[in-house]
Amino acid sequence: MPTYANVIIDISHEKVDKVFQYRVPEQLLDAVTPGVQVNLPFGKGGTIRTGVVVELTETPSYEEEKIKEIVSIEETAVPIESQLIALAAWIKRNYGGTMNAALKTVLPVHKRAQRKEKEILVLAALEEDAQIALAEYERKHFHAKARLLKELLLEGRIPKEFVTGKLHVSAPTIRSLASAGMLTVEKERADYRNPVKHVSGGARGERVLLNEEQRAAADRMIKDFQKGERHTYLLHGVTGSGKTEVYMALIEEVVAAGKQVIMMIPEIALTYQTVMRFYERFHDRVSILNSKMPPGERYDQYLRAKEREIDIIIGPRSALFTPFPELGLIILDEEHETSYKSETIPRYHARETAIARAEMTGASVVLGSATPSMESYYRAKKGDYVLLPLTKRVEERPLPECEIIDLRAELMDGNRSIFSRRLSALMEERLKKEEQIMLFLNRRGMSGFVVCRSCGEAIKCPHCDVSLSLHRDQTLRCHYCGHQIPAVKKCPTCGSPYIGGMKAGTEKVEELVKKQFPQARTLRMDLDTTREKDGYERILTAFSNCEADILIGTQMIVKGHDFPNVTLVGILAADLSLNIPDFHGAERTFDLLTQAAGRAGRGEKSGNVVIQTYHPEHYGIVNAAEQDYDGFYEQEIAYRQIMHYPPVWHMLTILVSEKDEQAAAEGADRIAAQIGREFPKLMLIGPADASIAKVNDYYKKVLYLKDQDYETLIRVKDSVEKTALEDPFFTRLLVRFDFDPAGGF
């Protein structure tokens, strides 16, 4: 009986977003399995395309004669595990986009990388014969030949690299010995490239003794795991409470049971320090992924996972798709981080997707954070997740003491500096004591955006509708599209010469620190200073080695290293993130402040935190100062409830974009009308301009939909997707979906 393959064609266009059926030729019957990529004729001209086989069947869905045949297997492509095909289907259903885009998501490495091969020289002659030849070479002063043969007699096998390098033997010499029958050249597969560079010693990492709370959390998860119970856990541990140690205790158990572990951490926290902690504990059974890795190295890590050479992978969002055959556990550290939500189509959330993958494969999920996302805490409270609290810092270290300083009062008292009097005094004192200080600013660029003081207009990017930032080289730059113009002397709107920077950026802060504290050594960490490879790591290490007294930075300094000598954290302008144009303003502010404050007093010495703000009474700021997560949560969830925002309700953003503003607007109107007809009870907001109304000359219109039922929103998506595909009006329009958005489009 003939076998048919249902195939997703590798074209990310809505028009071909369905399965196509092909016949599997006799000679390929063994090789074609779900997940394999194949070459096949596609379209009218029969152009050869590749596609992924998602299913095999014996019943044709079309007339026999119309079904074409697969041509061959695409040997250069990486096959997709069938588990991950199911996950791709889940992603497509829950977040929109094409199946092809979803398959690309679960397969971050597409091409097989060239495997490195090593050449080995092997002694081929009998030892006696080799000895005779050696004597002959020495007599004739054939030094190179003698050197090589002597070494071969000692070692038997030598890598060619070593021979041409250390032994200074040339290729003709090797060939000559080979033709004399002294040696043969063998090819050997090079070791998998291991990104974790060799550590000296390799001694077992020192074990800490878990404290009572850590032990209780770890035991609960371990016992469940041993009983075969699988759950999603929320490990809510204050900063410095030792969450990582709890993860490691659990990981050890899961690995001992022969299962594998995915440990996701935000890219920014993937520091040498973190990796070393895992490497010292789990040795070469652990590996890492990061976005700077070349594809070959990434591919190797996937292969090592598949072939069970490693048990643990550590990496950012994409690590979720590591093809472990027997996945037992997925951990998301800092689960509240927005980087867990994809910003490209499909806009999947790694947390929900991890839970879906875990359900498909019988794994547990652990979410960890000092400031859990509203979503996770809400679900934990409802009983969907198991809540495990760690309320104390390890070794009973106290939480830092936080003070809120009202910047309005400072100004009224005549202090025009960006440092309040209290912060200045504490900085002075800590510098004297040779303790370290972190200054946190939620900005980059020298003076932030530029505003005309006469007419109030900010200078904006003509393509993106966002404020341009003034840089030290006297250019104004757009942070979205990179558009750049020289700094202006006069307001382009009204001609006024009174034009200037509004708020200080990190460079400016550094300048001011140096002015006020000339003796202080400073380091600055922001997008500009970390652009080069390892820039981030280099700055953290320097600060860690006490090569500077003050580290000034953006949110990048909030996580990563532990700095035991930091006893003062200054938050210069706590309000800035309150103004982000979506409903997460308070949550992001609370997270940032709590995490930033948590940097102080992590060592033996206790710490102080000074929060400077224009909104000293805001609950996001007050609760952060008190390190009161529950207090914040109660107020924020009440607000979400009243406003029908996630997590209490679900939200779907639909984006419509086109170069022609009129067409974009009409498209959005038509979609709104359709939803009004088909889902009259649904709460619909808009259409409106996106928070950034124009990007790269595309006009963007958005619609927001809210409902208590996620499934209803999926049905809306399916219906709008259908219209966008079938209605000719939408041919040139882009229609995109974002479920429970983390930011704006």
Binding site for ligand ADP (CB under 6 A): 208-211, 214, 237, 239-245, 394-395, 562
Burial of residue 589, with CB atoms counted within 10 A of its CB: 0-12 exposed, 13-18 middle, 19 or more buried: buried
| Smallest distance from Zn ion to CB 490, Å | 8
**If contact means CB under 5 to 8 A according to the sort of partner, which of ligand ADP, Zn ion, none does residue 395 touch?**
ligand ADP
Burial of residue 197, with CB atoms counted within 10 A of its CB: 0-12 exposed, 13-18 middle, 19 or more buried: exposed
Cα separation, 289 vs 303, whole angstroms: 12
**If contact means CB under 5 to 8 A according to the sort of partner, which of Zn ion, ligand ADP, none does residue 455 touch?**
Zn ion
Burial of residue 434, with CB atoms counted within 10 A of its CB: 0-12 exposed, 13-18 middle, 19 or more buried: exposed
| Smallest distance from Zn ion to CB 485, Å | 11
Cα separation, 609 vs 249, whole angstroms: 32
Cα separation, 545 vs 563, whole angstroms: 9
**Residues interacting with Zn ion, by CB under 5 A?**
452, 454-455, 461, 463-464, 478, 480-481, 483, 491, 493-494, 496
Residues 39-43: contacts with CB within 8 Å, 24+ apart?
A: 39/70, 39/71, 39/72, 39/73, 39/74, 40/7, 40/68, 40/69, 40/70, 40/71, 41/68, 41/71, 42/9
* Of 245, 258, 264, the residue nearest 322 (C-alpha): 264
**If contact means CB under 5 to 8 A according to the sort of partner, which of ligand ADP, Zn ion, none does residue 160 touch?**
none
Which residue lies nearer to ligand ADP by CB, 214 or 577?
Answer: 214
Which residue lies nearer to Zn ion by CB, 170 or 484?
Answer: 484
**In this structure, which amino acid lies at residue 18?**
K
| Smallest distance from ligand ADP to CB 297, Å | 27
β partners of residue 231: none
| Smallest distance from ligand ADP to CB 373, Å | 17
**If contact means CB under 5 to 8 A according to the sort of partner, which of ligand ADP, Zn ion, none does residue 452 touch?**
Zn ion
Which residue lies nearer to Zn ion by CB, 62 or 498?
Answer: 498
| Smallest distance from ligand ADP to CB 351, Å | 18
**If contact means CB under 5 to 8 A according to the sort of partner, which of Zn ion, ligand ADP, none does residue 52 touch?**
none
Give the Å distances, CA to CA, from 404 to 351, 364, 440, 625, 732.
33, 40, 14, 7, 52
Which residue lies nearer to Zn ion by CB, 294 or 497?
Answer: 497
The first and second tokens of residue 317, run together, are: 């969002």
Q: By Cβ distance, which residue is nearest to ligand ADP?
A: 242
Which residue lies nearer to ligand ADP by CB, 215 or 463?
Answer: 215
3-state helix, strand and coil shares in percent for the chain, rounded to the nearest 5: 40, 25, 40
**If contact means CB under 5 to 8 A according to the sort of partner, which of ligand ADP, Zn ion, none does residue 478 touch?**
Zn ion
- Decide if 104 contacts 162 (C-beta within 8 A): no
Which residue lies nearer to ligand ADP by CB, 209 or 412?
Answer: 209
| Smallest distance from ligand ADP to CB 594, Å | 12
Which residue lies nearer to ligand ADP by CB, 79 or 240?
Answer: 240
* Of 627, 655, 649, the residue nearest 637 (C-alpha): 649
DSSP letters along 600-634, please?
TT-SSS--EEEEEES-TT-HHHHHHHTT-HHHHHH
Which residue lies nearer to ligand ADP by CB, 238 or 374?
Answer: 238
Query: 721 φ, ψ to 5°?
Result: -60, -40
Neighbours of 229 (CB within 10 A): 11
Cα separation, 177 vs 172, whole angstroms: 9
Which residue lies nearer to ligand ADP by CB, 244 or 260?
Answer: 244
| Smallest distance from Zn ion to CB 469, Å | 11
**If contact means CB under 5 to 8 A according to the sort of partner, which of Zn ion, ligand ADP, none does residue 237 touch?**
ligand ADP
DSSP annotation of 130: H
**If contact means CB under 5 to 8 A according to the sort of partner, which of Zn ion, ligand ADP, none does residue 132 touch?**
none
Which residue lies nearer to Zn ion by CB, 231 or 479?
Answer: 479
| Smallest distance from Zn ion to CB 459, Å | 9
**If contact means CB under 5 to 8 A according to the sort of partner, which of Zn ion, ligand ADP, none does residue 674 touch?**
none
**If contact means CB under 5 to 8 A according to the sort of partner, which of Zn ion, ligand ADP, none does residue 494 touch?**
Zn ion
Cα separation, 472 vs 466, whole angstroms: 19
| Smallest distance from ligand ADP to CB 372, Å | 13
Report the 3 state secondary structure along 509-560.
HHHHHHHHCCCCCEEEECCCCCCCCCHHHHHHHHHHCCCCCEEEECHHHHCC
| Contacts for 413 with CB less than 8 Å, ≥ 6 apart | none
**If contact means CB under 5 to 8 A according to the sort of partner, which of Zn ion, ligand ADP, none does residue 243 touch?**
ligand ADP
Which residue lies nearer to ligand ADP by CB, 52 or 248?
Answer: 248
| Smallest distance from ligand ADP to CB 186, Å | 46
Question: Can you tell me which residue has the tokens 């090593």?
Answer: 118
| Smallest distance from ligand ADP to CB 247, Å | 8
